């Protein structure tokens, strides 16, 4: 049974970083149920502490295959699901290492925990919170552990470009403070590996109150106009209109 529900800026799965802390300035709020909101539950937690967040992949379907094709390997190689962090699991449980920002107590209301580095969708059920203890959780200095295949060199980040029209759109929506965060998300290349060769394909990302559409050309995410004169990158507010992970 969940102890809290996450409130994030991602209403859909697409575009969410495939690992926690890849975009450290992505914030989320964990809204705790009333029965878990008493201050005693949170004694000993402090700002800046790393915490393990255990949650449910609530938007994924039923488990069906014992092997997966991780995006970390370009979707070309398959591995057993137990050697991966795929959300498609017999029990769809996720584990993310996040940074605690603050715990907000309000009399007669649910406690809210703000964390950064989050990598889950809005509405994600949170099952538990545990402290990260480097003395026991880090094996960096242990010579007896074998290197995991996912630690292989990753693809370089993409360059994110903004056209004049896209710049003006985000100014008009009074959301210029989110430009760096949007670029940090898109430079990780959220496209499914199977679609990275579709050079003319338009991709969409819903983030905060925005809907973004973009293409990738020459390893650059281009926020621009289509050659026909129509906008190839469109930004519009979702306030009044609601239009992959390793």
pLDDT tens for each residue of the chain, 246 residues long? 999 999 999 999 889 998 999 999 999 999 999 999 999 999 999 999 999 999 999 988 777 789 988 877 777 789 999 998 888 889 999 999 999 999 999 888 899 999 999 999 999 999 999 999 998 888 765 566 777 777 766 778 999 998 787 888 888 888 888 889 999 999 999 988 888 887 778 888 888 878 888 888 888 887 753 323 334 444 444 443 222 232
Please give the pLDDT value at position 152.
67
Task: Read off the pTM.
Answer: 0.80
Residues 231 and 235: their CA atoms lie apart, in Å, by: 10
Count the neighbouring beta carbons within 10 Å of the beta carbon of residue 201: 11
pLDDT in tens, 48-78: 999 999 999 998 877 778 998 887 777 778 9
DSSP state of 67: E
Residues 173 and 157: their CA atoms lie apart, in Å, by: 27
């Amino acid at each position: 049974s969940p102890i809290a529900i996450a409130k994030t800026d991602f209403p859909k799965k697409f575009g969410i970083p495939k690992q926690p802390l890849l975009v450290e300035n992505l914030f989320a709020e964990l809204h705790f149920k009333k029965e878990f909101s008493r201050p005693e539950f949170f004694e000993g937690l402090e700002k800046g502490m790393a915490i393990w967040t255990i949650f449910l992949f609530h938007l994924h379907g039923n488990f069906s295959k014992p092997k997966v094709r991780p995006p970390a390997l370009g979707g070309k190689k398959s591995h057993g699901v137990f050697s991966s962090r795929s959300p498609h699991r017999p029990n769809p449980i996720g584990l993310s290492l996040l940074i605690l920002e603050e715990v907000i107590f309000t009399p007669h209301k649910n406690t809210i925990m703000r964390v950064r580095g989050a990598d889950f969708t809005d509405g994600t059920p949170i099952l538990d919170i545990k402290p990260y203890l480097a003395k026991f959780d880090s094996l960096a200095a242990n010579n007896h552990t074998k290197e995991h295949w996912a630690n292989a060199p990753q693809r370089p980040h993409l360059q994110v470009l903004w056209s004049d029209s896209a710049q003006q759109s985000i100014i008009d929506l009074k959301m210029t403070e989110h430009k760096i965060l949007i670029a940090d998300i898109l430079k990780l290349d959220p496209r499914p590996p199977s679609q990275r060769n579709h050079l003319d394909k338009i991709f969409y990302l819903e983030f905060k109150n925005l809907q973004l559409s973009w293409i990738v050309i020459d390893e650059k995410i281009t926020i621009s106009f289509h050659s026909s004169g129509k906008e190839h990158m469109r930004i519009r507010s979702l306030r009044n209109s609601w239009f992959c992970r390793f």
